[in-house]
Amino acid sequence: MPAPTPAPQDIAFPGVLKLEVDATDTERRIFGVRETIPVAKAGPTTLLFPAWIPGAHAPRGQLEKVAGLVIRAGGKVIPWMRDPVDVFAFHVDVPQGVSALDIEFEYTSPTATDQGRVVMTPEMLNLQWFSVALYPAGYFARRIPIDASVRLPDGWKFGTALEVASTAGGLTRFKQVPFETLIDSPMFAGRYFRQIDLDPTGPAPVRMDIVADRPELLDATPDQIARHRELVQQAYKLFGSHHYDHYDFLVAFTDRMGGIGTEHHRSSEDGTIPGYFTDWATTPASRDLLPHEYTHSWNGKFRRPADLWTPNYNVPMRGSLLWVYEGQTQYWGFVLSGRSGLLSRQEALDALAATAALYENRVGRRWRPVEDTTNDPIIASRRPAPWTSWQRSEDYYSEGQLVWLDADTLIRERSGGKRSLDDFAAAFFGIQDGSWTPAPYTFDDVVAVLNKVEPYDWASFLHARIDEVAVKPPLDGLARGGWKLVYTEKPTDYFKSAEARRRSVDLTYSIGVTLNRDGEFTGVQWDGPAFKAGLTVGGKLLAVNGIAYDADRLKEAITAAKTGAPLDLIVKNGDHFRTVRLDYRGGLRYPRLERIPGATDRLSAIYAPR
Ligand SMILES: [Zn+2]
């Protein structure tokens, strides 16, 4: 085996990297890169392309899209050699008398969705610096200074957490930052742009920087802006701190550029639906995105699991505490949605019902603990899975959310309503106000702060719910919150919004399938009625009771089958056609929460604004 790539050291890099990105070729979706990397001495040196992407928790750097790599020293092209084991590393032999390497390459970003997430359209782009920069091996990323600049199409505006040094024509130079800050500070730029100030009088600027497919999508009502402003205030009341000197929500209203939700210390990438403002009434299922990513500035970026923190982007990350990083962020994301008014109390309760139902039916817990799903970013890389209810997925997000509801209601019950998980949030995330230097933590640190808030055997509580295979879903928080999960024939408005968002017909809790608009089965619930009848993901439903498939007709037939004949389905799978009899009599079933008469209504207290 070749010698390993030099490990990163906590020492100052001797010199300043210079990076120039040409992002004007939006038609071909190609980023042009020119970079200068100083070298201290002649001899072997190693340059790295970022592999382990923060927020992805996996080696998802798109190395295959690097093309045209040429390295020059003193004006002469010199050969590079890719490391045969660590393929993200490029070895170069620096000639005598050379002080810097001049690098050129193209980042050929996806021209179609099957190549990856589209990051450039004729109207907007998402510049992610980890795709357009090599960096020297052997140093902590925070010890490598870099001067970065970008050229954008004429007339485009942009948002980023980086601070501008100068702008001339389409070229913007940014103030020097550590390489770590550059990677943590992506850009959204676009032809149609609007900035909204979300905290005119607060301790640090907080802004929404919005790009959109069309200019009319940028229209926001004063009420919509007020709710986003309230998000900032409710977050401050919850955490009692902020971990940025300014914060930019980088928001895209688009169905052309790929969707995204990625957290950073001082910004977040929030790619959402075109009608985020303009279709407000029917799209509540899109509104926990900003509260979720904002929460990450405290939970994930500032407080960082010790085994997830790495000194650079080519050291493997470990996700053992993602049920805190993502699970509690999922929890606060929905709570802050409710407290800020981005979701009404009813919508927040309906969202919780949808999550509770999903995990009540997630039969994969019979074999796989939540903890093991923290490996899924690496194992599955978010590829679609045929049997999610059995295989499980990144369940540490939403099953984690339910575990934290369990903990919150337990603290509230045991303390007679005097304390809650809010106190944990203030004590755990609220330290070192104003700092955005990551403060790492371990499992024991989480348990210790929980114990300060409310003495209890939190270690056993968490081990039982996170580390062990469990048949019983973690729904105790609902009952302790004063509510129970029930199924009714009509979906909630929130459930309908979520179906519309996924362009899906969701019959998971009745016959046990989800279908896309073409009638293809996109999900079949493991051990459910459809599963037992032999239906499979990827098959296509052609007819119901002898008549061509249509979503409403299928729902009517499910209702009629309660008292009438079973369903006869014609199903196509590959080039095989067959008739399937589905003897299901339970009618349509959609989750919602129902009050437990007389029980303390802790859920409403949790979602109420502070
Ligand atoms: Zn997240």
350-394 pLDDT, tens per residue? 999 999 999 999 999 999 999 999 999 999 988 989 999 999 999
Q: How far is the CA of 454 from the centre of ligand 1 (A)?
A: 26
Give 65-70 contacts, CB < 8 A, sequence gap 24+. Answer: 65/107, 65/108, 65/109, 65/110, 65/115, 65/116, 65/131, 66/105, 66/106, 66/107, 66/108, 67/105, 67/106, 67/108, 68/104, 68/105, 68/106, 69/103, 69/104, 69/105, 70/103, 70/104, 70/105
Rounded to a whole number of angstroms, the CA Rg of the chain reads 26
Distance 326 CA to ligand 1 centre (A): 5
> Distance from the CA of 104 to the center of ligand 1, in angstroms?
34
Distance 233 CA to ligand 1 centre (A): 20
CA of 172 to the centre of ligand 1 (A): 30
Ligand 1 centroid distance, CA of 125 (Å): 22
Residues 235 and 296: beta-carbon distance below 8 Å: no
Distance, CA 543 to ligand 1 centroid (Å)?
40
Q: At what angle do helices 327-340 and 398-414 cross, to 10 degrees?
A: 70
Ligand 1 centroid to residue 264 C-alpha, Å: 10
**Statement: the pTM of the whole predicted model exceeds 0.95:** yes
Whole-number Å distance, alpha carbon 320 to ligand 1 midpoint, is 15
Distance 262 CA to ligand 1 centre (A): 7
Interval between CA 382 and ligand 1 midpoint (Å): 14
- Expressed in angstroms and rounded, the spacing between residue 551 Cα and the centre of ligand 1 is 33
Cβ-count burial 305-338 (b if 16+ within 10 Å, e if not): beebebbbbbeebbbbbbbbbbbbbbbbbbbbbb
Question: Which H/E stretch holds residue 263?
Answer: strand 260-263
Q: How many Cα neighbours within 13 Å face the side chain of 245?
A: 5
pLDDT above 90 for 345: yes
- The pLDDT mean for the chain works out to 97
Distance 289 CA to ligand 1 centre (A): 9
Structure tokens at 390: 């059995």
Q: How far is the CA of 69 from the centre of ligand 1 (A)?
A: 34
pLDDT-derived band at 545, boundaries 50, 70, 90: very high
Q: Can you read off the two tokens belonging to residue 520?
A: 């293809």
- Residue 1 — pLDDT band, cuts 50, 70, 90? confident
Question: Is 183 within 8 Å of 141 (Cβ atoms)?
Answer: yes
300 CA distance to ligand 1 centroid (A)? 8
Distance 296 CA to ligand 1 centre (A): 7
Q: How far is the CA of 568 from the centre of ligand 1 (A)?
A: 42
Tokens of 294: 């904002």
Strand ranges for 131-205 from DSSP E: 135-136, 145-151, 157-160, 164-168, 171-174, 177-178, 187-190, 193-197
Instruction: Identify the burial level of 564 via C-beta atoms within 10 angstroms of its C-beta, where 0-12 means exposed, 13-18 middle and 19 or more buried.
Output: exposed
> What pLDDT sits at residue 306?
98
Q: Ligand 1 centroid to 391 CA: how many Å? A: 21
User: How many angstroms is it from 333 CA to the middle of ligand 1?
Assistant: 9
Q: Long-range contacts of range 527-533, CB-CB < 8 Å, 24 or more positions apart?
A: 527/363, 528/361, 529/582, 529/583, 529/584, 529/586, 530/582, 533/580, 533/581, 533/582, 533/583
Which two structure tokens, joined as six digits, stand for 343? 């979701």
Using the predicted structure, report yes or no on whether residue 295 has a pLDDT greater than 90. yes
**DSSP code for 30:** E
Q: Which tokens sit at 339?
A: 């407290």
Q: How confident is the model at residue 4 (pLDDT cuts 50, 70, 90)?
A: confident
Say if residue 334's pLDDT is above 90: yes
